[in-house]
Structure 1
């Protein structure tokens, strides 16, 4: 429902075909469940854990390290080969953990949803699972309750809510039921509205549910998270450029050293092995692991 904050209580009841004293009937609820669906956040299927893990190897620096490990093994430098492989795997594990946690953003939003709701239906106050709420339901809210859906307040008694999860405002917001004569108004200033994911901290109130599920303000945030494209951070872009530069640098070293040695009369095989060894030595094997660990520590702090 659009702009419910500027609609009078009487007009809202007519628009949503509901009644403050009676609420909705069981038949009306079933019809609206079929139309609007359950009051819950939906989550698109994301990449599997295996896909996320394999994605950690899609980096020029990692490719260089894998090539370095293969070459070290070919040269029978087993200690170097094992060390490089261990670093690559450790980097992949750390990166997987961080990205896997990030993919669970919608699950974190779901934790803000209320498990139950006090609703008036067929003239009786009932406690139902919050996911069964539909637009037009009349809900009662008390201090300590989690708001189960977006609603327009119709009765309040010293009622305040904590909306930090949506607005970032740490101070409780005092609410009232009078309509607001503004078509566009910031969410934090909609004093006659309550929102899914917020919490009542004092008083009592009665509200008419106006939006549920993905149509709520919390649902809009979840939808933006789902639709947001994955964009590389400035650090990732610089590391990618560094990896490409290292490829050219190492290949340049191999070619220059190899031809200088051949010109001086050093045996072909000996010069090839020497040039490759120098290229392996020039690769910063610990860079991916150090960067990943540093970012992980920064996130925890």
Structure 2
């Protein structure tokens, strides 16, 4: 089976086509999806929908790579000469130091490779796909061009998709474009040529995350043919050079070897001129050469780098190659976008104002008692309920830890403030169920929701101050 991924004939221009035209091009019935046989055939033709992570090196290759450093080669040569001239103690000591250095480096790289493989296995995504008129949950790597995929809040987009249906769909594309705010999506074709990725509002790209709403779309590109795959392909073309530390050690090794050879040659010639026996002078020169080489230097450097890698692993950073530790320490300038690096793409409500009274946080409420009271008489409770209910935030349970909160960053900040005050959206929704809503749009600039209460109907509205207060 091929490992390269595939694309439709015009995946790059899919945003300019209508859904009907694209379905005809990909030979798929949008209401039924691909048949199992057609999907299997396309998988054979196009290969799996995955970005190759690079071939994992076996342990013996990792071990062999530890002996390519110039200083290590000099030490091995010194050990060989020591053994030949009858100094087995020196030869054994040098070999043991070289082996210790190689074992430490190999163990560190092997552990890092296994940890990376385990993380990739845990992160293996799935997708909801329509095939043969039935919705299946399959591994995302099995998607092919023409598949009809369903998306909902919290999903990672599994491939490059042309949207066919979008219900209040917003997608966080920060990982691809650096834009911090979620992008509202629609399904209409776009006429402009060569639109930037961030402006292709009818497309969903592999690796981005659905923040709000739901949608359905048609896969137009998979694997390396996706925009994310294109980035991976460009990165793979970059050549890996030596690190500053490796360059300095190699230079030190060459300079040391040249200096030792020159000194030994001078010593040997001077001894011969003084009438000393040639064999004695040769052994003396060899002994001097072995003594002048710092046998422990590579081991000291490797141990120091291994300790640095261990410290970084405690901060949840995996170092696959030990020299990378020193490279990170040599960085003087980091060019980066702000979102997700200097900031976390998260917001927090800092102050609240009700009837001219400002507070840094909302007052605490007992949800059960608050639900039984009359909200109109409690402005702070009314505000807290509005923050908890008038949003499209989704809280997903992800194991024993806290729930993952998905949605627009602004709505998440308001939702978190209400939850910290004791008003949980799930609990309040059972007491004040939503019966209607007017979603936020660029014209109204506000979102309104209607909720059924004991007193009748309760309306909450949030948005731009000039619109809400008008």
* TM band (smaller chain): 0.7 to 0.9
Alignment of 1:76 with 2:87, yes or no, is yes
Partner of 2:216: 206
Matched residue of 2:12: which SS?
coil
Q: Is the 8 A contact 1:143 1:202 kept in 2?
A: yes
Q: Is the 8 A contact 1:113 1:148 kept in 2?
A: no
Partner of 1:268: 278
- Tell me: CA distance 1:211–1:106, structure 2 relative to 1, closer, same or farther (3 Å): farther
- TM superposition shift of 1:194: 2.4
Alignment of 1:243 with 2:214, yes or no, is no
Q: Is the 8 A contact 2:172 2:183 kept in 1?
A: no
- Alignment partner of 1:21 out of 20, 28, 31: 31
Matched residue of 1:2: which SS?
helix
- TM superposition shift of 1:38: 3.1
1:225-284 deviations in Å (ceiling 9; x for gaps): 655554334443443333222222111111112222333344434333332222122212
Matched residues in 2 for 1:275 and 1:165: separation?
61
Q: Supply the RMSD in Å over aligned alpha carbons.
A: 3.5
Matched residues in 2 for 1:211 and 1:157: separation?
23
- TM superposition shift of 1:165: 4.8
- Tell me: CA distance 1:49–1:265, structure 2 relative to 1, closer, same or farther (3 Å): same
- Tell me: CA distance 1:163–1:8, structure 2 relative to 1, closer, same or farther (3 Å): same
More off after superposition, 131-140 vs 280-289: 280-289
Matched residues in 2 for 1:291 and 1:191: separation?
52
Partner of 2:229: 219
Q: Is the 8 A contact 1:175 1:192 kept in 2?
A: no
If you compute each CA radius of gyration, which structure gives the higher value, 1 or 2?
A: 2
Q: Is the 8 A contact 2:174 2:208 kept in 1?
A: yes
Partner of 2:325: none
- TM superposition shift of 1:143: 1.9
Q: Is the 8 A contact 1:141 1:206 kept in 2?
A: yes
Matched residue of 1:58: which SS?
coil
Matched residue of 1:3: which SS?
helix
Structure 1: which 5+ runs fail to align? none
Matched residues in 2 for 1:216 and 1:104: separation?
27
Partner of 2:106: 96
Superposition pairs of residues 10-159 of structure 1, within 5 angstroms: 10-42=20-52, 48-73=58-83, 74-76=85-87, 78=89, 80-97=90-107, 111=121, 114-159=124-169
Partner of 1:176: 185
Q: Is the 8 A contact 1:114 1:147 kept in 2?
A: no
Matched residues in 1 for 2:299 and 2:175: separation?
34
* Greater fraction helix: 1
Q: Is the 8 A contact 2:75 2:293 kept in 1?
A: yes
- TM superposition shift of 1:209: 0.7
- Tell me: CA distance 1:188–1:274, structure 2 relative to 1, closer, same or farther (3 Å): farther
Q: Is the 8 A contact 2:171 2:185 kept in 1?
A: no
Matched residues in 2 for 1:57 and 1:121: separation?
53
Matched residue of 1:270: which SS?
helix
Matched residue of 2:218: which SS?
strand
Matched residues in 2 for 1:175 and 1:91: separation?
54
Matched residue of 1:68: which SS?
helix
Matched residue of 1:284: which SS?
coil
Q: Is the 8 A contact 1:114 1:197 kept in 2?
A: no
- TM superposition shift of 1:222: 4.6
Structure 2: which 5+ runs fail to align? 1-10, 313-470
Matched residues in 2 for 1:264 and 1:242: separation?
33
The higher-RCO structure (CA 8 Å, 6+ apart) is 1
